[in-house]
């Protein structure tokens, strides 16, 4: 009888703890987030608009440039050096958007000028998304 009671309590605990609280958090669909013309894809203009907004958020000192600290998690030191034509250790908005365009092109193997969810989930697409959100 005690083993039946224990089994019933154990089963109740499993049911109680397997509800919505243990469900994985929802992922935000980047196409829906940035697709301003609602065509189900992202074009370069939409991507650059989102990236420019991110640049502004990453520039808390409002000096118009991003340094390695402000770019942490988005560009590594080697990528920053490659994107920094004047070698001042920072990126202007134009330099940042040039990297965005390079990553957009890398994520667009079919060269149709738009990125869909599948392309954004590729390694190149994820690298682009790091510059947008």
d(CA 32, CA 35): 5
Q: What does the pLDDT average to over 100-124?
A: 97
Per-residue tokens: 39 = 């065509």
DSSP 36-55: TT-SSSEEHHHHHHHHHHHH
**pLDDT value of position 56:** 97
What is the arithmetic mean of pLDDT over 81-105? Answer: 97
Q: What integer pLDDT is reported at residue 28 of this predicted model?
A: 77
DSSP structural state of residue 85: T
Q: Is the pTM of this model over 0.85?
A: no
SS3 34: helix
pLDDT mean over 118-124: 97
Least confident among 9-13, 101-105, 125-129: 9-13
Q: Which residues pair with 92 in a beta bridge?
A: 65
Which stretch of DSSP H or E encloses residue 90? strand 90-92
pLDDT-based confidence at residue 51 (cuts at 50, 70, 90): very high
Q: What are phi and psi of 47, to 5 degrees?
A: -65, -45
């Amino acid at each position: 009888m005690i083993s039946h009671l224990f089994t019933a309590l154990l089963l109740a605990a499993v049911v109680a703890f397997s509800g919505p609280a243990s469900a994985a958090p929802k992922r935000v669909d980047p196409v829906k987030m940035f697709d301003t013309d609602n065509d189900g894809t992202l074009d370069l203009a939409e991507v650059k608009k989102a990236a420019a907004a991110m640049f502004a958020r990453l520039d808390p000192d409002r000096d118009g440039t991003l340094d390695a600290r402000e770019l942490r998690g988005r560009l590594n030191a080697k990528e920053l050096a490659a994107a920094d034509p004047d070698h001042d250790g920072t990126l202007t908005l134009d330099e940042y958007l040039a990297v965005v365009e390079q990553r957009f092109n890398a994520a667009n193997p079919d060269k149709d000028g738009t990125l869909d969810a599948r392309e954004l989930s590729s390694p190149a697409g994820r690298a682009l998304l790091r510059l947008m959100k």
